[in-house]
Structure 1
Amino acid sequence: MKKDRIVSVDIFRGATILLMVLVNTPGTWSNVYGPFLHADWHGYTPTDLVFPFFLFIVGTSIAFSYKNRTVDAKAYKKIAIRALKLIALGLFLGAFLIHYPFFKNFKDIRFPGVLQRIGVVFFLTAILFINLSWKKLIWVTAVLLIGYWLLMTFVPVEGVASTLERAPNNLANWIDVKVFGTHNYKADYDPEGLLSTVPAIASSLLGVFTGLILTAKQEKKATILMGIGGSFLIIGHMWDLVFPINKALWTSSFVLVTAGWANLILALIYYLTDVKKIEFGSIFRYAGANAIVIYFLSSFISKVMGQIQVGDTSLHGWLFQKVYVHDFLALETSSLLYGLSVVLFYSLVGYILYQKKIFIKV
């Protein structure tokens, strides 16, 4: 590790990616404890914090990686190639089959997705960061959040007043259906859809500001981050009264609330590790060093295990039933234990890669 590396950011990134693995791989989706499920629509659970946390830390990392703000063809090419790799990996995950013809029918392939959103958000955030001052970035963030609120609230859909409910006259959902058609996650919407990616950029930009604070020379950085985090939480929950907190729509209130929690948690980790020099969370640092690789592997292997048939179930289902389901355990507990085992496995993968100094940059 470089001497000037901020340990708390590595821990935060690794913990976030392992949480993503945990909530994505329960033993069975039929029996999952509430906190490990997304909110049905409005509102949020701990699981709803995971993806915005990752976009937030993407922004923080951009502030570190591009702090020289070099603007030339080489920089643009590097940013574009990385974004395209992320998008390509996401499309591959959505299309791959283990049997002939090895890819889904074109009409069934989902175009949006987690990696696709990370790629798009990374690209636009990085371009904005190397070209604009932090003051201009504040204005851009405000325009994105307020503009999205106005669009979603006041723009009618085919002559009908827009709604924030899951309905045909929800502007974000309507755009996804019109643009992507059958290529959405659901027939009527996609949680990583087109219009909702606009405020997701703001999630990453808020991470940029945190990165700038962490790399600045001022004192009491943890206190500053705590203050910012608390302010975001208050404003976000107040905004919730007129623009409900909603992950599927990635509402502006959702952006502020999740960024608020991210700043508070990161501030605590920063205080303990970078200020007090208390060593903990190494396993998260190992995972964070190859975060995208671990996420991709976990998603790919989970998909493969779900497609391999064992009797009348999948390899995933067979393993869960044979190893984790017992009469003395609630099914929710068995399901959680399966997910924790998966997390333990990828933590080990992260540790091995780290010890062998293998850092795969996507």
Structure 2
Amino acid sequence: MNQRYYSLDVFRGATVALMIMVNNPGSWEHIYAPLDHAPWHGCTPTDLVFPFFLFAVGNAMAFVMPRMEQAGTAYFLKKVFKRTLLIFLIGLFLNWSPFLMWQNDTIVFKSWEWTDAEGIQHGIRILGVLQRIALAYCFASLIVYFFKTKGAYVFAAALLLFYWGLCFAFGDKTDPYSLQGYFGTHVDKTVLGEPHMYQGEGVAFDPEGLASIFAPIVQVIFGYLVGQYIQQKGKTYEMLSNLFVAGAVLAFTGLFWGLAFPINKKIWTSSYTIYTTGLAIFTLSTFIFLIEFKNIKGVWSRFFDVFGKNPLFIFVLSGFLPRLLALIRIPTEVSAEGKQLYTTPFGWFYEHICKNIAPDLRIGSLFYAFCMIAFYWLIVYMLDKKKIYIRV
């Protein structure tokens, strides 16, 4: 049944908007707890953003897969591999951008690897959010295309259990799911090299690493299966009620599995995939009920809708623009050691406008994030007005 689901567009757009908000606080030191990732085990609202987006990727895949199947295997493989490569390379471009950096008060080319004044080796991070999206989309598409719906269910269950087994068997026996005990870090160090990994945990550890790709693949598969089910059942209350039940069952199953295999975004555990998929289904079902069944839409849905029409472009721009503007240094003060300190245009806006609106610095940081959403919304709104949609 080929019906248009505006609610899926709004769901995807809302996910992109939330992704921009949590990635662009005024200060990482002053944010409300729900807008920060869980330190390790656990799941905050922020930890729902990425799996929701992968779920939305699967939803969209369900609507285009029939056309690709009709076009034949050669067309399908060309389309999937081309899109995978483009998204992966865009992610690598984003990590490397803007290809210049400040070093000893001089702008120099950002090399693939370099050593700082303290002798510490740095490098361009190879993996990241877009690279994970690319790989998860690629493998999920291949599984769905060649093994169909029943095979996709089997593969999904097998991958989740297989990844659990890998973590338990090859991780540190005392705590295989800890930062130090996770087996995937060794894989990433061997394949990627420490300078090309994420360093945000204080050590070389990549939350979008190679070994943790299994569960995100399943996240996309689940999104596909839900999208396919929505099309098959049509806009009926049977479809809607079954989705609500499925969402609740998966969320509780993920919580129970988390007692043995902790819910953890940074190593993307199987329980995390089940739990967040349940919440994604529940959220999407709510959107379907409000928009498709009750026709409750207007300014709020239109606001999110334009984000959903250029999701990849606006996500890349929201990551690229701050990096580019960081090349512009605005003098601020002189440190106790007599060194001149600088800020960036966005940093100046936070320090002089947002930071001063309330004594609680978290309010100013949140206000900055809202300003960033409004700024990027204006861009996608203008693109939508001109019917410009940038896709790969």
Q: TM-score range by the shorter chain?
A: over 0.9
List per-residue Cα deviations over 1:114-162 (Å, max 9, x = no partner): 01111111111112222222111000000010110111012356xx666
- 2:143 aligned residue: 128
Within the alignment, does 1:282 sit opposite 2:302 as a pair?
yes
Structure 2 residues not aligned, in runs of 5+ = 102-106, 114-121, 332-341
List per-residue Cα deviations over 1:206-246 (Å, max 9, x = no partner): 10111011111353222111111101111100000000000
- 1:179 aligned residue: 191
Within the alignment, does 1:61 sit opposite 2:60 as a pair?
yes
Distance 2:255 2:350 in 1: 39
- 2:285 aligned residue: 267
Amino acid at match of 1:292: L
State the TM-score, normalized to the length of structure 1: 0.94
How high is the sequence identity, in percent, across the aligned residues?
35
- 1:203 aligned residue: 219
Distance 2:358 2:124 in 1: 41
- 2:365 aligned residue: 335
- 2:131 aligned residue: 116
C-alpha spacing 1:199/1:323, structure 2 compared with 1 (3 Å): same
C-alpha spacing 1:156/1:335, structure 2 compared with 1 (3 Å): closer
List per-residue Cα deviations over 1:285-336 (Å, max 9, x = no partner): 1110000001001110122233421112222221211111216341111011
**Cα offset, 1:271, TM superposition:** 1.0
State the TM-score, normalized to the length of structure 2: 0.87
- 2:118 aligned residue: none
List per-residue Cα deviations over 1:239-276 (Å, max 9, x = no partner): 00000000000000000111011000000000111122
- 2:321 aligned residue: 301
- 1:148 aligned residue: 163
C-alpha spacing 1:171/1:178, structure 2 compared with 1 (3 Å): same
Contact residue 154 and residue 162 of structure 1 kept, 8 A: no
- 1:20 aligned residue: 19
Contact residue 3 and residue 231 of structure 2 kept, 8 A: no
- Answer 1 or 2: which has greater strand percent: 2
Distance 1:125 1:43 in 2: 26
- Map 1:213-224 to 2 at 5 A: 213-217=229-233, 219=236, 220-224=238-242
Amino acid at match of 1:164: Y
Amino acid at match of 1:352: M
List per-residue Cα deviations over 1:1-35 (Å, max 9, x = no partner): xx932111100000000111000011111111111
- 1:170 aligned residue: 182
C-alpha spacing 1:105/1:133, structure 2 compared with 1 (3 Å): closer
Distance 2:359 2:239 in 1: 45
Contact residue 206 and residue 259 of structure 1 kept, 8 A: yes
Secondary structure class of the residue paired with 1:216: helix
Distance 1:327 1:95 in 2: 34
Distance 1:331 1:156 in 2: 40
List per-residue Cα deviations over 1:165-195 (Å, max 9, x = no partner): 110x421122112221221102431010001
Secondary structure class of the residue paired with 1:67: helix
- 2:87 aligned residue: 86
- Which residue of 219, 240, 244 maps to 2:262? 244
Contact residue 155 and residue 161 of structure 1 kept, 8 A: no
Secondary structure class of the residue paired with 1:133: helix
Distance 2:224 2:110 in 1: 37
Amino acid at match of 1:303: R
Contact residue 123 and residue 196 of structure 2 kept, 8 A: yes
- 1:105 aligned residue: 112
- 1:50 aligned residue: 49
Contact residue 152 and residue 162 of structure 1 kept, 8 A: no
Amino acid at match of 1:173: T
Distance 1:352 1:4 in 2: 27
Secondary structure class of the residue paired with 2:233: coil
How many equivalent residue pairs? 357
Secondary structure class of the residue paired with 1:328: coil
Contact residue 148 and residue 252 of structure 1 kept, 8 A: yes
Amino acid at match of 1:235: T
- Which residue of 289, 301, 310 maps to 2:330? 310
- 1:33 aligned residue: 32
Q: Root-mean-square deviation (CA), in Å?
A: 1.7
Contact residue 307 and residue 315 of structure 1 kept, 8 A: no
Contact residue 143 and residue 151 of structure 2 kept, 8 A: no
Distance 2:170 2:25 in 1: 39
Distance 2:58 2:155 in 1: 14
